[in-house]
Amino acid sequence: MAEMDTSSQGGHKKGPGVKKSKKLSTRVDLTPMVDLGFLLITFFIFTTTMSQPTAMKLNLPKDTDNPEEQNKAKESGTLTLLLGSNNNVFYYEGVLAPDASNFKSSSFKEIREVITNKKSWVIQNMKESDFVVVIKPSDGCTYKNVVDILDEMSINVVKKYAMVDISDVEAKLVAITEGNPAK
Amino acid sequence: MGRAKLPRKSTNIDMTAMCDVAFLLLSFFILTTKFKPAEAVEVNIPSSVAAKVAPEKDIVLVSIDKDGKVFLSIDDEGQKEIIANAINTTKNLNLNVTAFKQAKFFGSSFAQLPQYLAIPEDNRKANALGGIPAKDSTNNEMIEWMRYVQQAYLGKKMNLLLKGDNVAKYPAFKNVIDAFKKNDFLKFQMVTSPTSVPVGTDLWKNNQKGLTREEE
């Protein structure tokens, strides 16, 4: 079974005095070779990297010291997201109230709902171009958090968003809400 | 009456054909496999819905590892030579240009660079290095590195890639993008691993409608 017949018919003639030796079969059993072949195939299939890394484009605005050149956003169409440590997200709509009454906490799972709600509200009451998301990462958040939130912008097709440095008041508020006001 | 005796069929299967197929597939997989180049800097990248494949040519890759250390790697040896010469003329470090060209990544301050290049290629470990200083504004060598890169690639095509670790803290990332901004690199790409678009979201609806994504 499973051989390759390589025995040649009729070899050369032996001399008259030479005893004819029993002809050995030259059949090779190929089964182990096939086994080995498939083993290697499986190895290469598993080690092949199927997914190539993708790249996310990010265009930065040029820093301007002149406040007149900075883009203004309409107050009621703004949603500010604050990224805290331990994957916490905080947000407020419009301008932060002095008593921080509109400062709400959320998580990366729930933030999508917040963004979509705000977006549909802005589309209903204003123009879509008035919808601006301001992202303020605090020092405690990770690179993954930032990429996740930028990804959230493309998932929810937010056309205008900006990454802004967190202000001291907000940083303190985030730290207090997270329970480590000493920071 | 006896039945006519059927000739006994042999149960031998010729394995040769199967063997051929197996090895054909094997050679296909061997030839198409591109082994992941040994990562000089270990970075666990986050995932995103971005669909554009990361470029592989003319790259200038800035990596941020889990401790926030910054590393720079450039694939084009010609550009590295230009950068090495530029550093030599401006900083008087007497860098070994050949060693600089062969180095896969840089992750030390300029002062430690000659010492780093003296280490044999195989023994260069990213975790033994301190990373390019990018933290404080007084001694921000990342800005200088990016200036050398900008001068070397003046008028040439280059892809600026940023590869950050999941747990790297935001200040490290901010320092790097500040260094980019200072040198007018306002477009860069972040390397991520692909994930599918969540069902029901606006992007998913757009994709269903066949609208192309605005990636620019």
| pLDDT single digits (tens) B153-206 | 877 788 888 888 888 888 888 888 888 888 888 888 888 888 888 887 778 888
Q: How confident is the model at residue B215 (pLDDT cuts 50, 70, 90)?
A: very low
Q: How confident is the model at residue B216 (pLDDT cuts 50, 70, 90)?
A: very low
8 Å CB contact of B15 and A34: yes
Residues of A with CB below 8 A from B52's CB?
54-57
Beta-bridge mates of residue B191: A55
Rounded to the nearest angstrom, the minimum Cα separation between B152 and chain A is 22
What is the C-alpha separation between B197 and B203, in angstroms, rounded? 7
8 Å CB contact of B15 and A49: no
Percent of chain B with pLDDT over 70: 88
Q: Which two tokens stand for residue A123?
A: 């589309």
Q: Does B22 touch chain A (CB under 8 A)?
A: yes
Whole-number pLDDT of residue B137: 65
User: What ranges make up the beta strands (E) of B55-171?
Assistant: 59-64, 70-74, 159-164
Q: Does B49 touch chain A (CB under 8 A)?
A: yes
Identity of the residue in A1, A145, A156 whose CB atom sits nearest the CB atom of B11: A1
Whole-number pLDDT of residue A50: 63
Whole-number pLDDT of residue B82: 82
Rounded to the nearest angstrom, the minimum Cα separation between A144 and chain B is 4
Q: Does B17 touch chain A (CB under 8 A)?
A: no
Mean of the pLDDT values across residues A45-62?
74
Whole-number pLDDT of residue B2: 65
- At A134, is the secondary structure helix, strand, or coil? strand
| Mean pLDDT over the full length of chain A | 76
8 Å CB contact of A143 and B46: yes
Identity of the residue in B48, B53, B188 whose CB atom sits nearest the CB atom of A147: B48
Which residue from B minimizes the CA distance to A109?
Answer: B198
pLDDT of A19 over the 70 cut:
no
8 Å CB contact of A55 and B50: yes
Sign of the alpha-carbon torsion through B45, B179, B58, B113:
negative
What is the C-alpha separation between A85 and A87, in angstroms, rounded? 5
Q: What is the pLDDT of residues A93-135, one digit of tens each?
A: 877 777 777 788 888 888 888 888 888 888 888 777 778 888 8
Q: Which two tokens stand for residue B54?
A: 């990361």
Q: Does B207 touch chain A (CB under 8 A)?
A: no
Q: What is the pLDDT of residues B60-79, one digit of tens each?
A: 888 888 887 888 888 887 88
Residues of A with CB below 8 A from B64's CB?
143
Q: Are B175 and B135 in contact (CB under 8 A)?
A: yes
Q: Which two tokens stand for residue B171?
A: 């200040």
Q: What is the pLDDT of residues A22-52, one digit of tens each?
A: 777 777 788 888 888 889 888 888 877 666 7
Rounded to the nearest angstrom, the minimum Cα separation between B76 and chain A is 20
Q: How confident is the model at residue A14 (pLDDT cuts 50, 70, 90)?
A: low
A–B interface: beta-carbon pairs under 8 A: 181
Nearest Cα residue to A7 out of A24, A22, A30, A21? A24
Identity of the residue in B52, B53, B64 whose CB atom sits nearest the CB atom of A143: B64
pLDDT of A6 over the 60 cut:
no
Q: Are strands A78-83 and A132-137 parallel, antiparallel or unpaired?
A: parallel
Which residue has 């600026």 as its token pair? B160
Q: What is the pLDDT of residues B77-116, one digit of tens each?
A: 788 888 888 888 887 777 777 777 777 778 777 777 777 7
Which residue from A minimizes the CA distance to B201?
Answer: A156
How many CB atoms neighbour CB B148 within 10 A? Answer: 21
What is the C-alpha separation between A24 and B150, in angstroms, rounded? 74
Q: What are phi and psi of B21, to 5 degrees?
A: -60, -45
Whole-number pLDDT of residue A182: 46
Q: Give the DSSP letter of residue A108.
A: T
Identity of the residue in A48, A54, A63 whose CB atom sits nearest the CB atom of B192: A54
